Structure 1
């Protein structure tokens, strides 16, 4: 190979980034996102792994250990499962273990200390949270916490039972939380700093009928142990709103207290949309300045060559008060953006468009927070459930 050709190859691959996408057809697909020498971007499947079949619903990447965890919801079976993949140097996945779980896992989070890790799952149809210690990188069952509902909620069709929809940790790592769409609660667990055992604390009530789905914490300083206030933003699937709370830490790791809602806004702001909006995912930008939410089922836009499109809303965050203020409503580049994730630099948003089986990469202006046109998109094998960036990948291998 001529030196010029080799240099061209290096230039074309140096900016390649891998993403992993799960879909209800049973596959986890590795995508390569590449900026070509022309300046244009491409997005293409490189590997497909069926090891999380039949219904992958969520992906959690542990970059440090080079493991990818996939929750299988098991839509037509009595149980779900959790698959652990090792990430190979070329971006392909190798199944390390497959663990049977309670039915309906739809979210997972890894937590731990300096010498041990655990993973927790939220079970939507199983009405519970479960946890597993990660011994030799393989899940070993630890605890299961079932929830009950004495009577249906405000929306009896959707709130017929507890439906844990997410698990996440607080900024200090002391607590694990789980928004419950069916019970209008946010369940709270204290994390033992040594054993990683979860202890239930008093659950926090959300607005009746709101249907809590996902949440995110905001510490204006970016350093949770440096003092100052902490806020929590909750996306509510049934009400279509975003609600904010101020967080207080109770003494002796005995729980959390939420003041609020301080603010509750329609996730599409004042725009009239033809469908009943069902917001799905919520994240804060890497620079800690913007709140971003995906909106489904509302068909806010019609796009050339794509047709109906839902939306992504962006909000500025006030570091003094925790208030979130509307900035932008932008097309999600297709229908039903169930999940999205933001690149480490904040320059791109990867959107998982469930009903059209597509992943779209949208540009984002880091300075203004405004989302822009799609730079690449690709269809996968089934209805998309999650998409995550793996930015340890450089296109020439992994950086340590």
Structure 2
């Protein structure tokens, strides 16, 4: 059953303001503007912010988000970059240089690919290099101070690492391949190991990889001289939970790890302790991803992010359209079914979480989302709707607010990142 905004948000408007225009752009993309009043303290003063979007249509689309003097936002396509990658799945911007890495799952071919691109102010990407890799890469992360890149291969049951060259290109470093002696409790999704994300701990000393198929979080220590990884004892998660993504928080005294598991639709907080090339995890909190509300049938948890100020944890869930929201097309009165975003307040003393908000994601299947540098806006990639939406966020309360811009992009959206 779909619920209205007012049923979940007594303090927010019951409806969204309508779009004022829908202007045709090239490549079948339509640009939409929201007719909004100035947003006061929630507004960001920055203009011309860039974003990059990957799609199973085989494209990396560059976008530009502007805010006009009257408070309206506009979201425009600036470039559509195509190449030899049929199924781009994840984008990583190198924090140390103007290089974008894209992994491609290769859904209909034996291998995936890894490509690196030089970015530009115009949004045009110049390919630096391109490699055939083990099938099914779905995540990448830069580690060891920008010296190397780690990939999680969902389809290929592997973790690979790559040395980052001065050009921004990469060369192969290591491969870790995995098997299961028998399928897991969910034999369809756990037929074999499925590494789903690669992330780095706050000390940049470990690469951590949640493995959905094996019910493990794989742990690797980093050699700072060579960038080589050494695998250590993994974190075992409950059978059939399907760990998908994670996020670390470093407080003044402690380190916490937040893990979301797709099959169990749970979020768990762990207190982290460090040994000699080892990490240990002590659980301190667990909840269903919908907080005090029951988990809908068929829901599939997706992403978890730490807010830029480290005060809130932000998550999203797919395949459970609990909201019915106004159409982004002002000429179309049909309501849009929407999956959800969640907000959790973090207790820095214990690592526990308090459920704060269940908000609409703007459409169906928010596979991934990201937050801008100052935390005032989130960009949500809606895989099944082929849409990217920009939603405002109150930094103080942590709450998501109104949708301020949206754009349709051909194909299924797999990731959207800010290029700030």
What is the aligned partner in structure 2 of residue 382 from structure 1?
A: 411
For residues 149 and 189 of structure 1, do their structure 2 counterparts lie closer, same or farther at Cα, with a shift above 3 Å needed? Answer: same
What is the aligned partner in structure 2 of residue 276 from structure 1?
A: 298
What is the aligned partner in structure 2 of residue 159 from structure 1?
A: 190
Query: 2-side partners of 1:14 and 1:145: how far apart?
Result: 42
What is the CA-CA distance between 1:229 and the residue it aligns to? 1.4
250, 265, 268: which one aligns with 2:275: 250
In the alignment, structure 1 segments of 5+ residues that lack a partner are 1-12, 222-227, 392-400
What is the aligned partner in structure 2 of residue 81 from structure 1?
A: 113
What is the aligned partner in structure 2 of residue 294 from structure 1?
A: 316
What is the aligned partner in structure 2 of residue 367 from structure 1?
A: 396
Residue 145 of structure 2 corresponds to residue 120 of structure 1: no
8 Å Cα contact 1:52/1:82 also seen in 2: no
Query: 1-side partners of 2:63 and 2:114: how far apart?
Result: 21
In the alignment, structure 2 segments of 5+ residues that lack a partner are 1-44, 328-334
What is the aligned partner in structure 2 of residue 4 from structure 1?
A: none
Residue 212 of structure 2 corresponds to residue 212 of structure 1: no
For residues 177 and 274 of structure 1, do their structure 2 counterparts lie closer, same or farther at Cα, with a shift above 3 Å needed? Answer: closer
What is the aligned partner in structure 2 of residue 60 from structure 1?
A: 92
354, 362, 367: which one aligns with 1:333: 362
Query: 2-side partners of 1:195 and 1:72: how far apart?
Result: 26
8 Å Cα contact 2:288/2:295 also seen in 1: no
What is the aligned partner in structure 2 of residue 352 from structure 1?
A: 381
8 Å Cα contact 1:20/1:389 also seen in 2: yes
TM-score of the two chains, using structure 1 as the length reference:
0.90
Number of residues paired by the alignment? 368
For residues 259 and 272 of structure 1, do their structure 2 counterparts lie closer, same or farther at Cα, with a shift above 3 Å needed? Answer: closer
Q: SS of the residue aligned with 1:202?
A: strand
What is the aligned partner in structure 2 of residue 395 from structure 1?
A: none
Q: SS of the residue aligned with 2:384?
A: helix
For residues 14 and 286 of structure 1, do their structure 2 counterparts lie closer, same or farther at Cα, with a shift above 3 Å needed? Answer: closer
306, 313, 323: which one aligns with 2:342: 313
What is the aligned partner in structure 2 of residue 69 from structure 1?
A: 101
Q: SS of the residue aligned with 1:203?
A: strand
What is the aligned partner in structure 1 of residue 41 from structure 2?
A: none
265, 268, 289: which one aligns with 1:267: 289
What is the CA-CA distance between 1:304 and the residue it aligns to? 2.1
Query: 2-side partners of 1:321 and 1:65: how far apart?
Result: 36
Q: SS of the residue aligned with 1:32?
A: strand
Q: Structure 1 stretch 41-50 or stretch 13-22: which is displaced more? A: 13-22
8 Å Cα contact 1:298/1:310 also seen in 2: yes
Query: 1-side partners of 2:296 and 2:274: how far apart?
Result: 41
Residue 132 of structure 2 corresponds to residue 132 of structure 1: no
8 Å Cα contact 1:51/1:83 also seen in 2: no
Query: 1-side partners of 2:55 and 2:84: how far apart?
Result: 10
What is the CA-CA distance between 1:52 and the residue it aligns to? 5.5
What is the aligned partner in structure 2 of residue 144 from structure 1?
A: 175
8 Å Cα contact 1:27/1:52 also seen in 2: no
Query: 2-side partners of 1:243 and 1:22: how far apart?
Result: 29
29, 35, 48: which one aligns with 1:16: 48
192, 199, 205: which one aligns with 2:230: 199
Query: 1-side partners of 2:409 and 2:321: how far apart?
Result: 22
For residues 50 and 291 of structure 1, do their structure 2 counterparts lie closer, same or farther at Cα, with a shift above 3 Å needed? Answer: same
8 Å Cα contact 1:25/1:53 also seen in 2: no
What is the CA-CA distance between 1:51 and the residue it aligns to? 2.3
Q: Structure 1 stretch 136-145 or stretch 159-168: which is displaced more? A: 136-145
232, 236, 255: which one aligns with 1:230: 255
For residues 275 and 379 of structure 1, do their structure 2 counterparts lie closer, same or farther at Cα, with a shift above 3 Å needed? Answer: farther
8 Å Cα contact 2:73/2:404 also seen in 1: yes
For residues 310 and 14 of structure 1, do their structure 2 counterparts lie closer, same or farther at Cα, with a shift above 3 Å needed? Answer: closer
What is the aligned partner in structure 2 of residue 225 from structure 1?
A: none
